[in-house]
Structure 1
């Protein structure tokens, strides 16, 4: 099996931002640029997933088509778009993280998720293993700040939460380690774009 990854090298600080990207939009770019700046990352990879196991995938375009659309939206040389999970044949984030951390232990990976994902993180397969393998950053999203911080996963991992001021060092931290990043928020969502509805500005 040949799995082609974006360029990487020992010591690079790479943020992993997974999702369906159906479709990719400016909100994804906003989160990525915020993470690049606040976490002092060298790159962010958009991991275009074969499909979220927690969502209906019956009408989901194939990963290659979604990746092509994402590349048009990314518009930043520091953002690499990849659908390698489809080639790898994985369905769950924990499998992707195990693959990368086992094979590239000298790369400083950080998982990036929105506050909405933290709110449901306890439903992800192997979420405790994810937290044990890789530091992660949670990006605030409108309407999810309180839900995220009150979620079962946030409570279970409270002792490994870092102060937001530690953001530039997160990539160097041994997991479990995570933090919540506040800042300008973008309310765009792929669901709203598909439905032709948009949330109010915040």
Structure 2
């Protein structure tokens, strides 16, 4: 089984998350996608809305039989993606994981804790986000791992380091913009 992991604050979850999850399922040939609704993001200055509220909204929004919304990071007690991946791989040894991220995250991936270890541990699927294309494709991570870039259909079976940048029709939504309207929290 191949499971795509879409980690994030989901503060709030929105149709863009749904869109990239469904595209990742199809284009990366994944069996499942797990939304890892994180307790918090160490790179963000403000804490997110309470985890139960974000989980409830994510579950209300994402209703697909092959997508699971989970708070497993909170239950595992992991704070960083590298820790979460290590714990999940130990807990589910028969599962092949693929890390999923928006292009905006690839642009600053080099700031993540043990980011190169993540690249060497699992294939990484990068999904286009409005305004992040050039920044992400010229990021330190993209430059360092340029030779590890593979096609979408090959990503799930690729041996790490392997990554794919997936251009797709975009949904122009962001959690930051939604919070700015005051419609969330």
Deviation digits for residues 28-68 of structure 1 (CA, Å, limit 9, x no counterpart):
0000001011011111100000111010234x222222111
CA shift, 1:196, in A, is 1.6
Once the two structures are superposed, residues 138-197 of structure 1 have per-residue CA deviations (whole angstroms, 9 ceiling, x without a partner) of: 0011111100011111111112111xxx32231111111111001111120001011129
| Partner in structure 2 of residue 186 of structure 1 | 171
1:143 to 104, 110, 131: 131
Partner Cα separation in structure 1 for residue 168 and residue 83 of structure 2: 31
What aligned pairs does 1:57-72 form with structure 2 within 5 A after superposition? 57-58=46-47, 60-72=48-60
- Asked if 2 retains the 8 angstrom alpha-carbon contact of 1:39 and 1:170, the reply is yes
TM-score for the superposition, normalised by structure 1 = 0.86
Cα-Cα RMSD = 1.3
Equivalent residue, structure 2, for 1:82: 70
Distance 1:68 1:15 in 2: 21
1:154 is aligned to 2:154: no
**Alpha carbons of structure 1 residues 103 and 75: separation in structure 2 relative to 1, 3 Å:** closer
Matched, 1:28 2:17: yes
Task: Report the counterpart of residue 97 of structure 1 in structure 2.
Answer: 85
TM-score (norm 2): 0.94
Decide whether the 8 Å contact of 1:13 with 1:41 is kept in 2. yes
2:134 corresponds to 1:171: no
Q: Does 1:17 align with 2:6?
A: yes
Structure 1: state its 5+ residue gaps.
Answer: 1-11, 198-202
1:41 and 2:30 equivalent? Answer: yes
Q: Indicate the residue corresponding to 1:8 in structure 2.
A: none
Deviations 1:80-110 (A, max 9, x none): 0001111111110110011112332321211
**8 Å Cα contact 2:104-2:129 kept in structure 1:** yes
